[in-house]
Every structure is written in C-alpha cells, then in structure tokens.
Amino acid sequence: MSKTEPVSGAAVLFGALLAAASLFFTLFIAGALSDLGGSDAAGNAMAEGFTALAIFLLYALLTALAFVAAIGGDMPRSGRIAALFFLPATFGAIWAAFSLLAHSHIPPGLWPLAIPALAPPLIVFYCLWALIAPLRAAVPAHVMGILVWGCVGLLCLATWPLSAIRDGANQREAARMDDWQNKFAAMSADAPLWQWTPFLDSDVYLVSQAARETIRNLPRRQADAETMLDRDEFPLGQLSQFDLEPTPALCEKARASLTRRAATLKPAQGQTLNYSQIANEVGAAHEAMNWLVGFACSCDQEALAWEALARAYGAEDYQLADLAKLRDPKEFGRILYNYPPRFSMLTPKATLHAWLNFAEGPGGIGKAPNATQALAGARKLDHRTADAIAWLDDPYAKTDRFLLMHFLPDLDLEPTPALCAAALAAVHEDILQAYRPTVDNPLPYWELLERLGVGQPLNALQWVAAHGCDADAELAAAESLVRGYGDSADRKAMLESLAALHRKR
C-alpha cells in the first residue's frame, strides 16, 4: 500500500544524485565492456580491474538508491520485495556478462552487453518513480512493477542461454583444435613443404608454431619453396620465416611469382574497388620483398607493380610508404651486410659490425665457433676504419659498442683524426661513468677491471695513444681512476703503461 504522506525533498534530492551517479557508472561500464580485450595483455588486465571496481561501485549505488526510494519514497511493498531479490540477481547477471564479454570475439559476441546496459537504468527508473509524484501519477504501481521487474528478470535469465551459447562455442573450438592437432600428428616427417604450410593458418598457436619449426628443419624446404613459388602457391608473408637460403634461384623465382600475383589482382573494368580487398595480399608481398631486398635481391620493379596495384584500389600514401621504402638504396642488402644469420653469408661487403658479431659466442667474446675466422676477416675489410668510426659515433649502437672496444687493438685500423676522436670520446665516457671508491670503502684493482667490463677501455686507450692520437687528457683521467683502487702488481703495471704513453711536450 502506498504511503499517504508526501515524499520529502531531501529524499528526492538524494535519490536524484544517486540516480545520476548510477547512470554515469552504467555508461562507463557499458563502454568498457564493449571494448574489453581490445588492448595488449597489460592493458586488458588494467581495463578488467577498473571495470570490476566500477561494477561493485554501481551495485553499491543502486542498493543505496533502492534503500532511499524504499524508506523515503512511496515504493509499494511488492516493489521492496522485488528490489530485495533482483538487486543481487542483477549484480550476478552483470558479473556473468562481464565474464562473457572478456572474450567477445567468441559467440554470443556483444549480446551480453544488453544486461549491464539496460538492467541498471530500469532499476534507477523504478526508484525515481517511487520518489517523484508526477511519475507515480502517470504510471500505476502494478504496471510499473510488472514492466520494470519483469524486464530486469528477463535480463537476468538471459545469462543462461548466453552462457550456453558460449559453452557450445568453446566446445566447437576445442573440437577444431583437436582436429588440427590430430592432423598434425598424422603428418609424415618427409612430407613436402606444401603439406605443412596449411598448418600455419590453423589459428592454433601450438600447431602453427610446431609447423613453422618443422618447416625450418625440413631438409627439402629450399627445393620445395622454389617449386611452390613456380606454382604461385608459396605463402609470401612467410618467406622470411623458413630459414631459406637467399640464393639467386630463389630470388628470381620469388620475383617472378610476385609479378604474376600482382597481375592476377589487377582490377577488372567497372569493379568496385576498396584497398581493404587486397590489403592482406599487399602486406604479404611487402614482407616477402622486404626479406629479399634485405638479402640484396633487388625488387624495384616488383615494388612499383604492387604500389601501382594498391593505388588502383585506393590506397593512401601512408599505406604505401613501406613499399616505396623498398626502393631506398639503404635497404638493399640491409640484412646480408649488417645482420647475416649465418657465418657463411659474410662477404667483403658486410660491415665490421657484422663480422665481429660472429666473434661473440655463448662462452663470451672470442669464444664463438668462428671467432678466429671472423676476426681475421674483419681485419681484411677495406672499409673497417670507416665502419669503426660510424659505429663509435652512432648513439643507438652504444649497447654493443663494447664489442668494438674489445677488439679495437686487433683490427689493424688506420688511426685517422676521425677515429682518434671517436675512440677517445668512447673511452672518456666509459672512464667518466666508472665507479670511484670512497675512502671508507676501498676496493681492489681487479674489481675496477670487472666494472669496466669486456669492452676493456683501458686497453683501447693504450692502443689509440700508442698510434699517434692525442690522448693526454684521457690518459690522465684513466690514471686518476686507477689510483682510486687498491695497490697491486697489475695496478702498478697499468699506471706505468699509461704514464709512458703521454706525449712529450
């Protein structure tokens, strides 16, 4: 039965504030749930945490609003009982929707969003109806109760069929994954490459990774890859993933396949064009050409053909920037000359950095299987001095500069003014950053050598000073650093060596 006394203004005001806050959190939660899982792992975890907190706050606000409407408003007894039952049920239904929407790419998709988007506003509307006299006059209590709590009940019940849809989708996905795994397990070890490549598109991580690893160790992969390129069946986007040899034959067959595939995608007269129609093919072609160009296989004509094709489909300049970059002379041989994956790929055109990379192994610098040959080859490069200067001057190469500093005395470099300046700047930086012991914390000399690390800047300093570079300032700084550590025979020998290298004035 309705109360006869009027609703107080304080109850209406407080209820309105709670209603506004509830609707605000409803909007926030609906927006967050609609994009849940749309970021990386860290971003998704943060979004889920904030959304969960917002759900708890929304439940608290709705409970407070219902309490105000029940105590201070004109809510019928049936409405109070319904609120007492449906508020916890709504909270549980929203939480279930939250769980479903965390994987909205799986059926039932975004349909669970209806629960958190509609149920809270319905409860807010019912509570405002109980607080505001014109609303109560416009809608009878039994109509409002059936309308609101009936809809809220249906939304809560919707979690069961939605969850059943999700369970069915999960079961189908599990069956699909089992099917791929069974097919993979049934493969013959000597199967040709084209029988392995379909597993790469299985969308089953363990299967696709195992297939890629199998392909990389397939003895016949090179010949099979050339055969697939001749048939235009090779997955171009995977060209860099199979540990293939970038031979002239592979280069020519890949270029020919790229040309043919671009021709087959040429739009027909009157065809409706949209770049999204061929975006995946263009991306795969770019991946292939990027690898080929990186291994000194020129793809200028092929890149132009694919660029023209993409433009015909309406691609913008920014979408074609990567294709245009393939014709940049700096890209030609970028991998082969700077980061060859195998020692056998090194050539006299390879950079000093590329050669010295093969002198560093798991056991340390100089412990790699080809360390001796790598150092000997580096010493013969006619561009080794220029490479060393560029390496030392590159602010982005500081992380592996120690490799050059370690081998600096062994590379037979020409001590040009530019090399002297670059090497002394690197030595000065290492000495400046070295720890200097305090009087109350003396340290042995061997600890200084460990702190300076494998780059051995003191040895590099001795080499540049002995080869005519004006290193007096760096020698003095090094002597000051060495004197800060405990006396020993090695410390004394280093100080004598550094002192002997000062220029005679």
pLDDT digits (tens, 9 = 90+) for 384-441: 999 999 999 999 888 889 999 999 999 999 999 999 999 999 999 999 999 999 888 8
Contact between 86 and 19 under an 8 Å Cβ cutoff? The reply is: no
Residue 289 — φ and ψ, nearest 5°? -70, -35
Give burial (CB, 10 Å; 0-12/13-18/19+) of 236. buried
For 439, residues 6+ apart whose C-beta sits below 8 A from its C-beta are none
pLDDT digits (tens, 9 = 90+) for 13-36: 999 999 999 999 999 999 999 988
Band (504; pLDDT cuts 50, 70, 90): low
Residue 3: the pLDDT is 44
Element (H, E) at 361: strand 360-361
Q: Residue 173: pLDDT above 50?
A: yes
> What is this structure's pTM?
0.74
Give burial (CB, 10 Å; 0-12/13-18/19+) of 177. middle
Beta-bridge partner residues of 364:
361
pLDDT digits (tens, 9 = 90+) for 448-500: 999 888 778 999 999 999 999 999 999 999 999 999 999 999 999 999 999 99
DSSP string covering 455-472: T-HHHHHHHHHHTT---H
Contact between 404 and 381 under an 8 Å Cβ cutoff? The reply is: no
pLDDT digits (tens, 9 = 90+) for 365-388: 878 889 999 999 999 999 999 999
Alpha-carbon span 264 to 261, nearest angstrom: 5
* Amino acid occupying residue 160: W
376 dihedral zone (left: phi>0; alpha: psi -120 to 50; beta): alpha
Contact between 123 and 66 under an 8 Å Cβ cutoff? The reply is: yes
Tell me the CA distances in angstroms from 15 to 6, 126, 500, one per residue in order. 15, 11, 88
Alpha-carbon span 115 to 152, nearest angstrom: 8
Q: Which residue has the tokens 């490549």?
A: 197
Q: Which of 461, 460, 450 is nearest to 485 (CA)?
A: 450
